[in-house]
Structure 1
């Protein structure tokens, strides 16, 4: 007899991005050439100084458990990074090192989300964000947020949708899937409104290092009560190392540490020692070169998509995604992405994962792949749509 599963699983939807990736892998095994522009994973890997730091840690036998909130050297390096890049004094004592940004979000939701608590977030949003809320029996209230709002919440929409059960907001700037940021003044207004209602503001900043058109800023500039999530996966190109961090108000450090001790013990010790090297000047120089390459790819693929017939109503200013309206090409984004995979060998993902308001109309493209792959993908899609138009 199989065990009875917890009812909360009914609130967790499958991650269609990963399902499509599995299908693409099966096609590759059969001999097909597939260009992957679905999963948001940099094609760059950790640079030499980071690899060398990991090797030294292993050679020196620094493989034990660490403190649940991270090694002091890494917390201090992150603090110095906020000072260097954002001109902010963020005490190392407020920084909690985590097993990726996912663990950081899990800890934040474990500390703040109670049963039936409502958390506001934009539709579209990264799907796991609402599932973290659901895992603690809260309710994500997805607010349709179109291109006129840069696919982000505004202070006006927060005020309009705040209800008796609302406890906070969960935002991302720049965002997955849209690559758009919240303007600083708008975010400041949101934080002020939420603070006035006694709620919490969580801001996912894992793509903040990949901001292209304006000087980057951190939501931490808006007050010590703002909770910020960050990661070594995107700007620092360390997806498989599972390393991230969480910045919390001083009053939350001890409760979060207690949760981290019980849920994770600690983040990978090797990854933490390697992470310190991410902030060395030679490493930052490499990351900035790679950031420039991501911008070059964005500046190629956005007009190329428009030429293919997609609408890109908001040019992404960060991350490595384009959220494109495919309604002029198809009435069903999900069906279109499956056809593009099978017939063109190109992986894009439908809006299905990111919220109901854009599920059938939008697709997400990740340009975290080489320029050669992007150019080849555009050629394949040109041929695909020429034949597609004849069929329909």
Structure 2
């Protein structure tokens, strides 16, 4: 047999500009320990321990039996777009034309579509630091330049209108926000969000707002960015509030004038979202199913109300109470451990010595990442309680 050797294929330069997703790397390490017999409590990945309610599962099974598994419109099936629009009216008091809704293969596909549609080469996009790591990589993949704006506790780890006004240049194209946010679980104040949108609009830019955790808000009913004008682009998902992470289904709401452009891009880049997931998602909006989601939201709030004071009792600082999602962004510099203030080393120690997974701040930006860890409380309360006791033992050793 002749062995043929090939030169190493040259990768596109954008690959080097995209950093590893450290939470997934840590998850792989935790999985290896599990296979070796270790009992690991995972508070790293932001995935609800709840799964799709029975009505959603049955809707998927029914769709499979009926054979409705072929290509759909690139924008998604009309009944689902109408159901999403009705949900905006019922839950958030916002009227949305179903024609503006683009169903996608998860929120990731939605964000990628938005960036491909709106970002040109070398365009700058402002976003807070810390933020969800993939957001900056979506901009990079579109050959734009993410501009991470240090955003501390005083501004709830969020971008402000003052930031927009101060940092906007001739190269700035828009802003990419999330409310509530991953990794901080904090929302943008409604008045501040309005000021941001006004500031961006005055400069001819775009505003993209990731609202995938909006259903998991724990204070007053939040205001959707859609209420601020039909020029705002919002992103949502069936993964978090609707507990369908692996189904890969999300959506965008886009300005009326951009529907044709988004449809063209969706046709070429994705063909269509999963037909099976779309028909299953129709059951998410049935009254009985929505009641289940409401009960689960209260359970997430109960977990938050346990874990925040528990973390503080361990020496962590939580400078801003998370008001949504299922994350806590905590300052680890005050814990009693040799790796205090070095989140990468500390999370390694927590994994290997206590069997507890948290995520180091380096995933989420460059603003004080060594000082912070992210915890996901999307796991059962007894597991959270056990994890706290394990960490208490580690920090008192």
TM over 0.5: yes
Is 1:238 aligned with 2:244?
Answer: yes
**CA offsets per residue over residues 25-73 of structure 1, 9 Å max, x none?**
0000110000000000000000011001101101111010000000000
Q: Could you give the per-residue CA deviations for residues 153-199 of structure 1, whole angstroms, max 9, x where no partner exists?
A: 01111111111100000000000000000000000000000000000
Q: 2: CA distance between counterparts of 1:214 and 1:315?
A: 14
1:78 paired residue number: 84
Shift of 1:10: 1.5
2:294 to 265, 281, 288: 288
Equivalent residues of 2:190, 2:222 under 8 A apart:
no
Give the paired residue count.
Answer: 387
Mapped partners of 1:327, 1:163: distance in 2 = 35
SS in 2 for 1:177: coil
Matched residues in 2 for 1:338 and 1:296: separation?
A: 28
Picking from 70, 78, 88, the partner of 2:94 is 88
Q: Alpha-carbon deviation of 1:328?
A: 1.3
SS class of match (1:278): helix
Out of 69, 73, 77, the residue aligned to residue 67 of structure 1 is 73
Cα contact 2:130–2:157 (8 A) shared by 1: yes
What are the Cα deviations for residues 295-314 of structure 1, in whole angstroms up to 9, with x where unaligned?
Answer: 00000000000000000000
- Find the residue that maps to 1:360 and give its secondary structure: helix
> C-alpha offsets along residues 94-116 of structure 1, whole Å, 9 cap, x if unaligned?
00000000000000000001000
Question: Which residue, 321, 338, 354 being the options, matches 1:315?
Answer: 321
**Structure 2 counterpart of 1:97, from 75, 80, 103:** 103
Partner of 1:374: 384
Distance, in Å, in 1 between the alignment partners of 2:265 and 2:364 is 28
Q: CA deviation at 1:9?
A: 1.0
Does structure 1 residue 112 correspond to structure 2 residue 118?
A: yes
Which residue number corresponds to residue 332 of structure 1? 342
Quick one: distance in 2 between partners of 1:360 and 1:318?
A: 24
1:263-319, Cα deviation, whole Å (9 max, x unpaired): 000000000000111001011000000000000000000000000000000000000
Alignment of 1:1-392 (within 5 A): 1-329=7-335, 330-387=340-397
Which residue does 1:390 correspond to in 2?
Answer: none
Instruction: Give deviations 1:102-147, integer Å, cap 9, x for gaps.
Output: 0000000000010000000000000000000000110000000000
* Contact residue 48 and residue 240 of structure 2 kept, 8 A: yes
Distance 2:69 2:159 in 1: 43
SS at match of 2:131: coil
Deviation at 1:8, TM superposition (A): 1.1
| Matches of 1:383 and 1:215, distance apart in 2 | 39
C-alpha separation between the residues in 1 aligned to 2:283 and 2:79?
10
Deviation for aligned residue 1:216? 2.1
Once residues 87 and 360 of structure 1 are traced to their aligned partners in structure 2, the CA distance between those partners, rounded to angstroms, is: 41
TM-score when normalising by structure 2: 0.97
What secondary structure is seen at the aligned counterpart in 2 of 1:167? strand
Does the 8 A contact of 2:124 with 2:147 survive in 1? yes
Instruction: Kindly state the Cα deviation for residue 358 of structure 1 after the two structures are TM-superposed.
Output: 2.5
- Structure 1 runs not aligned, ≥5 long: 388-392
| Structure 1 moving runs of 4+ over 3 Å | none
C-alpha RMSD of the superposition: 0.5
Partners of 1:262 and 1:358 in 2: CA distance = 40
Say which SS state the counterpart of residue 370 (structure 2) adopts. coil
